[in-house]
Chains A and B, each alone.
Chain A
């Protein structure tokens, strides 16, 4: 039930430089695709470069794409973000669609490391009316009241006790004393 056994760091939602508040700046600075021109493990990457890479570069003009053909090396992609973080991902034996998927995943991330979100919302202004303290909504009469007080010492919504109700009923049903009644 607890998360203490996880090595994944946890934190609250944040974004670098209040991104999105003024304008949205895509955080992916540059991406380097390293692949082999012959080996079979790079086939997906090669197919992606031949077909989908130009479209990707056109839709993300804020990201520099570097291609690094290296013989006898397995393919990988290294994403560099504006806050200086780097993300390495091995693309060995990926299909063309998988490369596209992971590339678009890198695009949408900020460089903040993957972490477990403790809450899915964040605010810098948690209260508008002010945090409750014991003096909120207290009657000002308590300042000059002598305790025990007839009204303030009792619970607010006390209501009549059973005994008091019986006394009331008795008083209503009482026959009036003919001596006290003024004679007509």
Chain B
């Protein structure tokens, strides 16, 4: 007999099982999913121990457990116990306060990093990058990939985005309580800020009216007003026309931009000039992460409460030179 021999009735039986399963899943709206804690092999204490070791951090046990407990879970447990008739004075602490504190700390740390790395950038771009890093989708991805999905105690399953985000922020606050603000800062830099890698920062924020703003900046600096000259062109009578426009100030070349029409090319040239001023061109220096931040941690801490210049007042003399 062949190794993969099966009796004649096996295949039809399995086919029928599959058919019934598909009907049942369609009726109930999706395949059945089970929380990992419903498995026989589950040890919450061991999972929490592994969680802190995985991240390389030391947590206070009570802070960590509080950070992972949600109000909905406590309410559900209280209701369940009172239904049975037991006295429901549970000693659980929820993560509302921790999450609030953690959210503020995370914003502070992110702003500190951005202002220390992007010293020449206006505050509008800093806040655009900060909003991207603290958006729900980014934080949910980070929280899921740390392993919070199985550890959180919450009433909703599959867990909602807000639950993940709340837990993650509470974890940051718990870490600051347990190991100090320094460790929490490094934690945020290692996990949240690294999500900026590979993201084009110029897609996050675009200055409105780049031509007018460029003229304003040059005027503030006391330089000649920008002159736009056509540098290259090809195919002007066709659909695939391309125009290269260069920006000159007092006959000094600043930047060039390309576009399908003269107006587009002019705007792109002004945008490139602004990118050059802010040091956010495509060829800008690589962002520092991890150990490369060791020397500028004090600078980051200093700049957490010091916003950059707003776009309307931007002038190159007032911004610091690059730190890293």
Inter-chain contacts of A64 with B (CB < 8 A): 43, 46-47, 50
Task: Indicate if the CB atoms of B145 and A16 lie closer than 8 Å.
Answer: yes
Contact A124/B198 with A23-B290, A64-B47 known, Cβ cut-off 8 Å: yes
Inter-chain contacts of B92 with A (CB < 8 A): none
Residue of B nearest to A128 (CB): B283
Min distance, Cβ B88 to any Cβ of chain A, angstroms: 31
CA distance A82 to B40 in the complex (A): 19
Task: Indicate if the CB atoms of B231 and A140 lie closer than 8 Å.
Answer: yes
Task: Indicate if the CB atoms of A83 and B145 lie closer than 8 Å.
Answer: yes
Contact size range, A:
20 to 34
Min distance, Cβ B196 to any Cβ of chain A, angstroms: 9
Task: Indicate if the CB atoms of B50 and A62 lie closer than 8 Å.
Answer: yes
Which of A17, A25, A135, A140 makes the CB contact (< 8 A) with B54?
A25
| A138 within 8 A of partner (CB) | yes
Residue of A nearest to B50 (CB): A64
Task: Indicate if the CB atoms of B50 and A135 lie closer than 8 Å.
Answer: no
Inter-chain contacts of A84 with B (CB < 8 A): 144, 149
Which of A32, A61, A62 makes the CB contact (< 8 A) with B41?
A32
Residue ranges of B at the interface with A (Cβ–Cβ < 8 Å)? 40-41, 43, 46-47, 49-51, 53-56, 141-142, 144-147, 149-150, 189-191, 193-195, 197-198, 230-232, 234, 244, 282-283, 286, 289-290
Task: Indicate if the CB atoms of B290 and A63 lie closer than 8 Å.
Answer: no
Sorted nearest first, the 3 A-B pairs with minimum C-beta distance are: A22-B190, A62-B54, A61-B53
Min distance, Cβ B222 to any Cβ of chain A, angstroms: 29
| A173 within 8 A of partner (CB) | no
Q: Enumerate A56-96 residues with CB–CB distance to B below 8 Å.
A: 61-64, 66, 68, 82-84
Task: Indicate if the CB atoms of A22 and B244 lie closer than 8 Å.
Answer: no
Q: Is the interface of B mostly helix, strand, loop or mixed?
A: helix
CA distance A62 to B46 in the complex (A): 10
Inter-chain contacts of B290 with A (CB < 8 A): 21-23
- 21 residue pairs of the A-B complex, CB under 8 angstroms, read A17-B145, A17-B191, A17-B194, A22-B290, A23-B55, A23-B56, A23-B190, A26-B54, A29-B50, A29-B147, A30-B47, A32-B41, A62-B51, A64-B50, A68-B41, A83-B145, A124-B198, A127-B282, A130-B283, A138-B232, A140-B231
CA distance A100 to B147 in the complex (A): 25
Task: Indicate if the CB atoms of B141 and A68 lie closer than 8 Å.
Answer: no
CA distance A130 to B230 in the complex (A): 20
Inter-chain contacts of A130 with B (CB < 8 A): 282-283
CA distance A139 to B34 in the complex (A): 68
Inter-chain contacts of B49 with A (CB < 8 A): 61
* Of listed A22, A82, A143, residue having the most chain B CB within 10 A: A22
CA distance A2 to B191 in the complex (A): 39
Task: Indicate if the CB atoms of B50 and A30 lie closer than 8 Å.
Answer: yes
* Of listed B56, B149, B189, residue having the most chain A CB within 10 A: B56
Min distance, Cβ A63 to any Cβ of chain B, angstroms: 6
Inter-chain contacts of A16 with B (CB < 8 A): 145
Inter-chain contacts of A17 with B (CB < 8 A): 141-142, 145, 191, 194-195
Q: Enumerate A116-169 residues with CB–CB distance to B below 8 Å.
A: 124-125, 127-130, 134-135, 138, 140, 143
